[in-house]
Amino acid sequence: MAKKVVATLQGGAGSKKMTKVIKMVKSSKSDAYIFEEKVMNADEVEGFLKK
């Protein structure tokens, strides 16, 4: 499965560089940790991780 994700994120010459970001967040209901996954532009990664 990872090969498919990498192949779709690379794109062509005119596409933006995309990155899959996984962030661990503590749930307020059960105090357990959950993982939040997003595929986003590489320029927006720092802002997503700081939230």
pLDDT of residue 10: 62
At residue 10, φ and ψ (nearest 5 deg) are -70, -40
What is the C-alpha separation between 1 and 5, in angstroms, rounded?
7
Cα 20 from Cα 29, distance rounded (Å)? 26
Say which residue the tokens 């996984």 belong to: 22
Output the 3-class SS for the chain. Answer: CHHHHHHHHHCCCCCCCEEEEEEEEECCCCCCEEEEEEEEEHHHHHHHHHC
Report mean pLDDT in 10-residue bins for the chain, 51 residues: 58 72 92 93 89 77
pLDDT of residue 11: 58
